[in-house]
């Protein structure tokens, strides 16, 4: 049967209180401290993650802004290069036209000088032939056959000089 003794109940209550105090002191207290530390560590990690996320967003915005600026700069550089190339093209083209015009003028002058020289040479040759013909005409007698012979010789000599 079950006996209920007051001393047994009192010792059991005392034992339970002592056990509760030991557990609170050595088990529940440290466990609670560890849980609080972990909670603080988790909150700290969450705050740090939020800060990193904010920094990442800022860096992303800066990156996108720099990409936009890079695109604008690339467009400006390309446009400047095109303008410089067009200016250089025009400069080279103008210089080539000036060189061509100068060479044409020089060629025209050379042709004119050559033509004048050829005309002078031709005049000198014709004058020389005329002088020779006149000298032969004067030296030979004036006969109808002599004139014909003189004329034929003149034509023959003139033809040989031109060939």
**pLDDT, tens digit (0-9, with 9 covering 90-100), for 62-95:** 998 888 888 888 889 999 999 999 999 999 999 9
Helix axes 29-139, 144-162, angle to 10 degrees: 170
> Whats the size of the chain, residue-wise?
163
Q: Is residue 31 part of a domain?
A: yes
Gap between the Cα atoms of 163 and 160, Å rounded: 5
pLDDT band for position 144 (cuts 50, 70, 90): low
Host domain of residue 48 = 6-115
Q: Is residue 111 part of a domain?
A: yes
Neighbours of 147 (CB within 10 A): 13
Q: Is residue 160 part of a domain?
A: no
Q: Is residue 121 part of a domain?
A: no
Q: Considering its fold, how many domains does the chain have in total?
A: 1
Least trusted range by pLDDT, from 6-15, 99-108, 149-158 = 149-158
Least trusted range by pLDDT, from 39-48, 98-107, 129-138 = 129-138
Report which listed range, 3-12, 50-59, 131-140, is most confident: 50-59
pLDDT band for position 131 (cuts 50, 70, 90): confident
| Contact assessment for residue 125 and residue 161, using Cβ atoms and an 8 Å cutoff | yes
Q: Is residue 107 part of a domain?
A: yes
Least trusted range by pLDDT, from 35-44, 56-65, 95-104, 127-136 = 127-136
Neighbours of 131 (CB within 10 A): 10
Q: Is residue 150 part of a domain?
A: no
Gap between the Cα atoms of 80 and 74, Å rounded: 10
The better pLDDT of the pair 123, 46 is held by 46
| Contact assessment for residue 150 and residue 133, using Cβ atoms and an 8 Å cutoff | yes
Q: Is residue 41 part of a domain?
A: yes
Q: Is residue 81 part of a domain?
A: yes
* Mean pLDDT taken over the chain: 86
pTM score, two decimals? 0.40
Gap between the Cα atoms of 123 and 157, Å rounded: 16
Gap between the Cα atoms of 86 and 103, Å rounded: 25
């Amino acid at each position: 049967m079950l006996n209920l003794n007051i001393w047994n109940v009192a010792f059991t209550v005392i034992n339970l209180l002592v056990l509760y105090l030991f557990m609170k002191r050595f088990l529940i207290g440290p466990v609670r401290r560890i849980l609080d530390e972990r909670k603080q560590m988790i909150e700290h990690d969450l705050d740090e993650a939020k800060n990193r996320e904010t920094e990442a967003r800022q860096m992303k915005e800066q990156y996108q802004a720099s990409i936009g600026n890079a695109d604008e700069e690339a467009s400006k550089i390309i446009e400047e290069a095109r303008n410089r190339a067009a200016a250089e093209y025009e400069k080279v083209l103008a210089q080539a036209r000036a060189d061509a015009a100068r060479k044409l003028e020089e060629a025209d002058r050379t042709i004119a000088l050559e033509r004048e020289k050829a005309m002078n040479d031709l005049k000198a040759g014709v004058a020389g032939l005329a002088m020779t013909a006149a000298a032969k005409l004067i030296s030979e007698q004036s006969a109808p056959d002599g004139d014909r012979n003189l004329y034929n010789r003149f034509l023959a000599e003139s033809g040989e000089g031109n060939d």
